[in-house]
Chain A
Amino acid sequence: METKILSEHYHKPEFRALAGYKALGGYEMLAKALKMERQKIIDEVKASGLRGRGGAGFPTGVKWGFLPNNGEPRYLLCNADESEPGTFKDRKMIERAPHQLIEGMIISAYALGARKSYIYMRGEYTGPGRILRQAIDEAYAAGLLGGNILGSGFDLDLDLYMGAGAYICGEETGMISSLEGLKGQPKLKPPFPAVQGYLRKPTIVNNVETLASVVYVLRDGVAGYRAHGTEKSAGTKLFSVSGNVNRPGTYEVPLGYPLKDFIEQECGGLKPGRTLKAVVPGGSSAPVLTADEALRATLDYENLASLGSMLGSGAIIVIDDSNCMVDVLGTVSHFYWHESCGQCTPCREGTGWLHKIVDSILHGRGKPGDVDLLVKVADQMKGRTICALSDAAALPVISFVTKFRDEFEYYIREGRSKVTGKGPTDAQMHH
């Protein structure tokens, strides 16, 4: 069963505008928060067990605790650069409830002592960007942003910054570089952004869903928030589901929910006559699960890690038996090759090699030994770079070729797909 905390009112069109949001309880937690001690809010977020919903799953309250208490100006940045393939839940949230994010940001900025905040949104999101801009303007007009918010003496300026097409800007230091007017290349950590981030000032970067969740931590209290989910994976989470299911979309379930039930009930199961082949459980960077693994997985950080994969951004891609895994990996390896920022050699060169080898197999030019070569190249890309993109490119490749090795070997040997029986198509040749 879905458990709708964040998404309770997403089906109501009026929830998008300020008046409708307020009528359904919106901004009540802001009024409450502005009367609270800042540290009390941080303590509650820490005790709630809320973990970053963008992909890394780092405990939000712990991240907030890294901010130095030195009186320097500090910034709160919202990461709305939703680009992990398979992920669209932040877009849905912003389209249906932009004020949820704004309220979460004002509360969080107040707790952290930030007086300037940006939402960094991927440039392609023109539609959601317009909705968010309008909501920010509404909030300013209503005195919820700007000077002396609700008479509390707290000032906050919030601006929307549109990126221009680069996956790597979803990495928090890449995002900071981009906001500073540079190429969106990640920076070496340490120093972590909490110590030296935007303009070398203390900066907290949180995902859209994470910041909106802060509202509900305050509303339901620590025990109420923890009533859903598991001990280490507290609360509910929005999942983006796509691929070969009858009802793709965004669903909110408690963490720890069985993936099998999720696919069969929330997603309406597979198309008639099809069987499950594989599931990517956390966006394209998450190693793929076989059908057997997927059917015993639960949707929480620990269980998916124990299966050698990850919850990531909560983007579930369901793959049925009509798909050729070589072809699926083809678009994924193309993605990382295209999106590597080029800064670190193992990633720049490695993503290129992975893409070239998979592509040559797909074009019927595969060689014996290519599967082992893919694993060897991928192994050399792990843990050697400034950011996690290199690992994110390497891990899915290793999982695809080891778990579906027969499909790769067949394609190399026969020059065509074991599943579809076809060789390279025009469409793939153009890719």
Chain B
Amino acid sequence: MFQLSDEGKAFVKKQLARYEQKESAIIPSLYRVQDENGGWVSPEAIDHLSELMDIPASRIQEVMKFYTMFNQRPRGKYHVQVCTTLTCGMLGGRELCSFLMKEHGVKGPGEVSKDGKFSFSHVECLGSCDTAPVMQINREPYHESLTEEKALKILKELK
């Protein structure tokens, strides 16, 4: 059964008091849950949050499902999100994502590599078009001006 850490629970309580209405705390709290649950929001995690926040699970679930950055299924320890829209699409984003998936023995977006370390997805414009193609790993700052070699090296260095 998923439970937030004590610090996680304190974080959620703080968010509940931070905004004019408590529902505004849903997004920040979902991020916390996702971070503590290995990168995805499980149904149990939503029930836990619902109880903690005193907000119906269905309300939390509909918010979770609306936003791309919340993962509804387990993903790799490192979720590699490659931008493929417009400029990144023109300058090799889709090819880069295919290359990285192949290198890690993954057939398509969403699948987790056998060692559990990586999953990949195409994402829409990340807002870094002058340094296309770009990728974001988990919720960290972007990796920019990528080549196949450069991106592969970045992933190899992740423990």
Contact = CB atoms under 8 A, between A and B. Distances in A.
A joins B in a complex: yes
A248 B136 CA distance: 20
A243 B87 contact: yes
A345 interface: no
Contacts of B69: 123-124, 164-165
Nearest to B107: A430
Residue of B67, B127, B128 contacting most chain A CB atoms (<10 Å): B127
A116 B21 CA distance: 14
B87 A242 contact: yes
B74 to A, nearest CB: 18
A83 interface: yes
B62 to A, nearest CB: 6
Contacts of A241: 130
Contact of A430 (B24, B62, B108): B108
A326 to B, nearest CB: 12
Given A164-B69, A199-B21, A331-B86, A127 B132 contact: no
Contacts of A167: 124-125
B89 A183 contact: no
Interface string B24-60: 1111101100000000000000000000000000000
Given A179-B24, A199-B20, A315-B129, A164 B90 contact: no
Contacts of B94: 331, 425, 427-428, 430-431
A242 B129 contact: yes
B97 A427 contact: yes
Contact of B66 (A183, A244, A315, A426): A183
Contact of A240 (B26, B129, B136, B141): B129
Contacts of B18: 159
B82 to A, nearest CB: 10
A162 B66 contact: no
Interface stretch (A21-29, A84-92, A101-109, A218-226): A84-92
Interface in A167-184: 167, 178-184
A335 B66 contact: no
A180 B23 CA distance: 6
Interface in B114-156: 122-132, 136, 139-142
Contacts of A243: 87, 90-91, 129
Contacts of B139: 123-124, 126
18 contacts: A82-B127, A86-B129, A122-B127, A123-B69, A126-B141, A127-B141, A164-B27, A167-B125, A181-B22, A242-B129, A243-B87, A250-B130, A317-B129, A323-B90, A335-B125, A339-B124, A427-B95, A430-B94
Interface of B: 18-28, 30-31, 62-63, 66-70, 84-87, 89-91, 94-95, 97-98, 101, 108-109, 122-132, 136, 139-142
Given A162-B31, A180-B23, A317-B86, 7 more contacts: A85-B124, A88-B130, A181-B26, A199-B20, A319-B90, A334-B85, A427-B97
